[in-house]
Amino acid sequence: MKQMRLHFSLRVVPVMVLTVAVWLCCAGNSVRAAGGLDERLKPGIALLEQGKFADAYATFSALFEQDPGSAQVNFYLGLAAYGLGDYENASLAFERTLMIDPNMQRARVELARSYLKLGVAQTAKSYFEDALKARPPENVERNIERVIAQIDASGKRNFFSGSLSLGINYDTNVAASPNSSQITTPGLLVPSVRVDGEDADFFESSLLQAEHRYRINDSELGWRSALTLYNASYFHEHDQNLEYVRLATGPSLVQSRRLIDVMLVGEYLTKESDSYLNAFGGQLRLAQALWGRHILAADITAMSKEYDQAPDRKAYNLGLSAGPVFVWGKNQLVTRVGLDMEDARDGEGGVEEDELSYTRYWTQIRYERELPFGIAAYAGYRFQYVDYKSDYAVFAEDRQDEIHDVLVGVRKKLPHGLAVDLNNTYTEARSEIDLYEYNRNLTSLSLQWSF
């Protein structure tokens, strides 16, 4: 996973990148850094020169594990990451290089190039200006000045980013059928009823997440819009097919260490191609940089829901959540706690809460570790406790549910922003009512593209 930062991607005009590339060619060998060359680096450098960036990255990662304090190892690790299109890890490697050897001007140039690719043009500009202070050759100096001028003239206002995921999934309990096929129903004339057992099925899924930010002049104010499209298509259980759309838009404040979004939110869900849910509301999001690369994130969401297949039913939902994100070395730890309160009414002017009104308390934790060869492994746990407000007449008792989700997965980075992800989520639901107790395994294999 890419490490979280409080800057946001934008696409700098191609002529800037082209100019930098021309300048680097004029500056001399595009792979070999100045200074004596460590013999251990030669196999990896040969791979870089052949354009085998994944193999080179694996080679230099192994050297990094052995000697993290080597400026040259970090420098060539950064070049390999840059060749893979992993500009964030490239920038981190070049930053480490300069911490070890502040006089390695080539690393400063490569760091500027990485920031330019990440869309952080002003930061890139500052590193280019630092490189000018080292009095490079005249032709290099002219090209740096041209790039800086283009950054100043670009007047970038629009920032785009997003991801697309295409997956094949296997669900062992498509309808979340209960563990017991015989359900006790004291509220009915019959003491119990029989229900269907678990049905397993494969399904295809697609997830598109796209974001656009518009910056107003050169201020910290702007406008953010985010779109989410999700589709699940089952091979056999077609009544479980889903299409989901979410659109959020509103003003945004982006500062050096703080992000605040205030957005209007609309959601639409279909089930088996029939309209199922419409929701509209608002969201307040906050991200605050802490020390190092750690972040505190929080949000408040308020939504009004209408169920198209039950026209008399409406619900009002308030959600609160917050938690820190810790990033150190090759590790990332995301923690979150939250509270959801849903007030479901019976419609037609009714004011009594019905059986679907609830308060949900939840917490989750997820850990990810970068491994050699562009691989990352991750694991997570989520716990939910749901307290429903009214008795279920059919079951003649209150309903409280506990839901445990355990996630494990692995991801492999590929060139051009691509990645392959394999994960499994095991769910165990426990309830005061037998009907809502179930187990489930969901295994997913997906191809992801970040842009």
Give the residue carrying structure tokens 């746990």: 381
Distances (CA, A) of 251 to 85, 93, 217, 248: 31, 35, 14, 11
Q: Which of 94-108, 143-157, 248-262 has the lowest mean pLDDT?
A: 143-157
Q: What is the pLDDT of residue 20?
A: 43
| Residue, of 8 and 176, whose pLDDT is higher | 176
Q: Average pLDDT in the 286-312 region? A: 90
Give the three-class secondary structure for 254.
Answer: strand
Query: Highest mean pLDDT: which of 22-26, 207-211, 350-354?
Result: 207-211
Give per-residue pLDDT as tens, 38-64: 788 999 999 999 999 999 999 999 999
Q: What is the pLDDT of residue 195?
A: 53
Query: Highest mean pLDDT: which of 119-123, 150-154, 163-167, 235-239?
Result: 163-167
Distances (CA, A) of 3 to 150, 161, 193, 304, 328: 28, 15, 51, 34, 10
Q: Provide the strand spans (E) within 290-313.
A: 295-307
Q: What distance in Å separates the CA atoms of residue 80 and residue 431, rounded to the nearest whole number?
A: 52
Domain annotation for the chain: domains and CATH numbers: 14-154 (1.25.40.10), 158-450 (2.40.160.60)
**What φ, ψ does residue 420 adopt, rounded to 5°?**
-110, 135
Structure tokens at 54: 């994944």
Give per-residue pLDDT as tens, 257-291: 899 999 999 999 999 889 999 999 999 999 999 98
- Is the pLDDT at 25 greater than 50? The verdict is no
Structure tokens at 66: 């052995």
Helices 87-100, 105-118: crossing angle, 10 deg rounding: 150
Q: Average pLDDT in the 205-221 region? A: 90
Q: For residue 13, how many C-alpha atoms fall within 13 Å in the half-sphere facing its CB?
A: 14
Give the three-class secondary structure for 112.
Answer: helix
- Is the pLDDT at 417 greater than 80? The verdict is yes
Q: What distance in Å separates the CA atoms of residue 441 and residue 198, rounded to the nearest whole number?
A: 11
Give the three-class secondary structure for 336.
Answer: strand
- Is the pLDDT at 122 greater than 90? The verdict is no
Give per-residue pLDDT as tens, 324-368: 999 998 999 999 999 999 998 655 544 445 678 899 999 999 999
Helices 71-83, 87-100: crossing angle, 10 deg rounding: 160
Residue 159 DSSP one-character state: E
418-431 and 438-450 strand pairing: antiparallel
Q: What distance in Å separates the CA atoms of residue 232 and residue 271, rounded to the nearest whole number?
A: 10
Contact predicate 411/421, CB 8 Å: yes
Q: What is the pTM of this model?
A: 0.65
